[in-house]
Every structure is written in structure tokens, then in C-alpha cells.
Amino acid sequence: MIRRGLLIGAFAVSAALFARPVSAQGPQATTPIEHFVVLMQENHSFDNYFGTYPGADGIPEGACVPNDPADAGAGCVEPYWLGTDPSRDLDHDRAAFLEQYNEGRMDGFVSAVTHGSSDGRGAMGYYDDRDLPYYWNIADEYVLFDRFFQSAGGGSISNHMFWVTGTAGVGETIPDEGFGELPTIFDRLEKQGISWKFYVQNYDPTINLRHQGVGDRASQVVWVPLLNYARYLDDPELTSHIVDLDEYYTDLERGTLPSVSYIVPSGASEHPPGSIRAGQRFVRTLITSLMRSDAWSSSAFMWTYDDWGGFYDHVAPPQVDEWGYGFRVPTLLVSPYARLGHVESTTLDFTSILKFIEENWGLAPLAGRDAQANNFMTAFDFSQPPREPQFLAATRGEESRLTANRALVYAAYGFAVVLPLAVIAWALFGRGTPPPGLPSGEMARAGGRRS
């Protein structure tokens, strides 16, 4: 106990000495986390990414989802490794959620996709460490959440709104007039003078509520909810916080990373049929850059997925209100204070991110959801000194092959040493004379004998 008290005391002293926010204004963080970075990727369920991860609540043994929940004779589909199969964009709207959820029976994953005119079998595909080596390496070293639910049982718009406002907004639509005065976490931060930025990969300032863009570019207004607020668009001070992702790297280099950073991707979102490897490279670059910066020792980086993308997940989400929760989504936390190789099973959702920010900087809740949400403080261990950065590999280890190699080498070369030793010992200590009739051997020729 004394030792623990000393540790905590030492920590408190060092935290007081060295804690220095980038922004001189605003309240101090209540934990050693002075920089919180959160990235929202796209469209994968927990079981789709970590369903076979050891130690996590993954795909149950014998899982098989019926082709038609209403027809027991129609057979079922077992989860299968997607491997190199092309990834497909499955139905993942509110209707698909409700059919897959099926009032908690969780048996509509295949049929809902089939009804959406796709091959329903695709919902049962999963990836593992062969496809996601970096993410699995992160899980091995930092924190993986296996009870992290999307806030709304629906698609991108409502879930991004929960991420920023603690509410669903108005559901899966963006009002023509925008979200008006609906408060955001950034309003709270701005009011308290806490630095923040919303980093957008390939940010195009001309695409917003008023000019929503076409094709893929239209997703910018969905993934950046602030672009659907007239008051953010019309206030240069507020607009200046929405920046291209390039600034994330320059902020890291210059030591100007704000206290709270939201990040959304563009091409590397992992949204099917996008490349999950490209997504890993993107996330790895973000994390590695953070680790190389001075901010690392007082930072936390979390990334999650805005919805399940239509993929199977076996855990029935608790229903806390009319919107959700939706299904579980992969979420990971990297921080010098993160627990080592920890699977965190506290029930969380996107509003838990708001809860963390609010508690860390002493802000008032935005809505009922974030007020009641669980925090993920238990994923940290603030009693430990900050861990050194660790650039994790984008490949997995080959432990078993190495062990096999060792046994093979010792067996082969052991034989190779024993055989000559035996032959040479025989030559040294054995008795014998040259074969009769062989004129070889100087001593033999000379009639000499050994004694």
C-alpha cells in the first residue's frame, strides 16, 4: 500500500510539474490525457473484424444464421473467412438493422441482405489477423473494446450525429436548414477555451450543407456533421477549426496538436468495397505520427466505426431508447496509459467518447445519452508511467515456425556432429592394420608397428 501510495504521489507530482496544455487557455485535463484524438472509420461489425480474436467476446462456437428466420428448413449460413473475396457494400440502413436485429433474436443477418437484393451469405463473412495484422497487433499491445455499440441502429448520419452531439439529430436525413442550435461537443470546448480541430482527409471547403457535392465527395457532409450547421459555416472562427488532415501532421510536428481532435477519412475509410489494407495503412500513419511527436506522452488515440456495415455480430445490443444501441463496432484505444493487451468489456457507445471528453475537461453533458453513458476510463492505467512509443508492425509474428526451425536444426546438426565423432574415435582408438595386398601406408611399407 505504501509503495502504491508513493507511486501515486510521485505521479501526481510529476503530472503537476509537466502537465502543460498546448493551448494556454482553458481548464486543465483531469487525467494525464491532454490530447484526445478520435477517428471514425466506416462500416464493419465487431465480429467482422475481431470475431476470432482470442480473449474477446467473438463469434460463438456453432454459430449459424438462418437463411430465412421464418423457415427453419431453409438452412443457415455459418460465419466464414472472407479472405481475398471482394468486399461488398451490404445494406446497413435502419430497416436492415431492424430486420437483422429481429427484436433481439439476432437471426436476420442473412435474410435482410438477401431482401436488399444482395447475396445474404456475404453478411456472415469475417476477417482475421491475416487480413488485419496491424489492428490485431494493436489489440495485442493496447486496448480492444468488445462491448462498444454504435449509438443508433441505423446508418452514418445518425451515428455521426451521436458522435458529435449525443443525439441522433433527426435520424438518417440532414435538414435543409441544417441542425440549427443543436449543441455540439465543440460548442462546449469553444466556450471553455479548450483547443480543438476537426481534421478531414482531402477536405474540400466548398462541400457543405449548401453545396453537398456529388458521388463519393458527398460523404463529406455526412461524416463532418459540423458542415451541416449554418452557424459553423458562417463564423470564420469556428470554420477555421475544420481543416484538412495535412494539418494533423504539421500540428504534431510543431507541437500544436489541440486538446481534442476529431478525424474523418476519405478514401481510406474501409467502407466496403474499399480496401481494408489501405485503411490500416492510414490508421498506422496517424498513430505512428502521434507516437513520434512530443504529444505522445500525454495523448490517447481512439478509432471506431460509424456502423456495422450490414455484417454479422452475435451480441444483441441493449435498447436504451428509440434509436439504439445498434450492433457492436470495432473500437481500439492507443495511449501511453492504455492497459497492455487489454480487452475492455464495459458497455459503451459513441456518446461514451463525449462522456470521456466531458469528464476529462470538466464539461457539461450535451444530452441525456452522453450524461448516462459509461466512460472508458477503466481502459487506462494512470498509475503507470507513460509507455514508450511502439511502432507496431503491419505483419503478424511467425512464432510456431521459428520453434519448429530450432528443433530441426538441433536434430540435423546434432546427428552431423555425433557421426564424425564416432568415426574419428574409432580411427583413434580402434585397432587395425592395412588390408593385405595394399601397398599403402609408409609405416606399413616400412614394416613399422604402432605401440
Across 197-227, b (16+ Cβ under 10 Å) vs e yields bbbbbebeeebbbeebeeeeeebbbbbbbbb
Complex with other proteins: residue 5 or 437, whichever CB lies closer: 437
Q: E-strand spans in 239-347?
A: 242-244, 260-264, 299-305, 331-334, 342-344
Least distance (Å) between residue 422 CB and other proteins: 8
By CB under 8 A, name the binding residues for other proteins: 249, 253, 281, 284-285, 288-289, 291-292, 388-393, 397, 402-406, 408-410, 412-413, 415-417, 419-420, 423-424, 426-428, 430, 432-435, 438-451
DSSP states of 182-237 as a string?
A: ---HHHHHHHHT--EEEEETT--TT-BTTB--SGGGGHHHHH-GGGG-HHHHS-HH
Least distance (Å) between residue 13 CB and other proteins: 25
Query: Nearest-CA neighbor of 93 among 15, 170, 23, 155?
Result: 155
Least distance (Å) between residue 417 CB and other proteins: 7
Least distance (Å) between residue 135 CB and other proteins: 15
Residues forming beta bridges with residue 244, ordered by sequence position = 200
- Alpha-carbon distance of 139 to 137, in angstroms, equals 5
Query: Is the dihedral angle over the CA atoms 363, 366, 371, 375 positive or is it negative?
Result: negative
- Alpha-carbon distance of 266 to 110, in angstroms, equals 29
Complex with other proteins: residue 168 or 291, whichever CB lies closer: 291
Q: Which residues contact 394 (CB under 8 A, 6 or more apart)?
A: 133, 134, 137, 280, 281, 284
Complex with other proteins: residue 105 or 445, whichever CB lies closer: 445
Least distance (Å) between residue 35 CB and other proteins: 17
Per the listing, cell 474499399 goes with 274
Residues forming beta bridges with residue 260, ordered by sequence position = 36, 196
Least distance (Å) between residue 436 CB and other proteins: 11
Least distance (Å) between residue 85 CB and other proteins: 26
Amino acid at 387: R
Complex with other proteins: residue 207 or 283, whichever CB lies closer: 283
- Grid cell listed for 378: 477503466
Q: Which residues contact 451 (CB under 8 A, 6 or more apart)?
A: none
Complex with other proteins: residue 85 or 398, whichever CB lies closer: 398
Complex with other proteins: residue 64 or 422, whichever CB lies closer: 422
Least distance (Å) between residue 386 CB and other proteins: 13
Complex with other proteins: residue 177 or 399, whichever CB lies closer: 399
Complex with other proteins: residue 5 or 430, whichever CB lies closer: 430
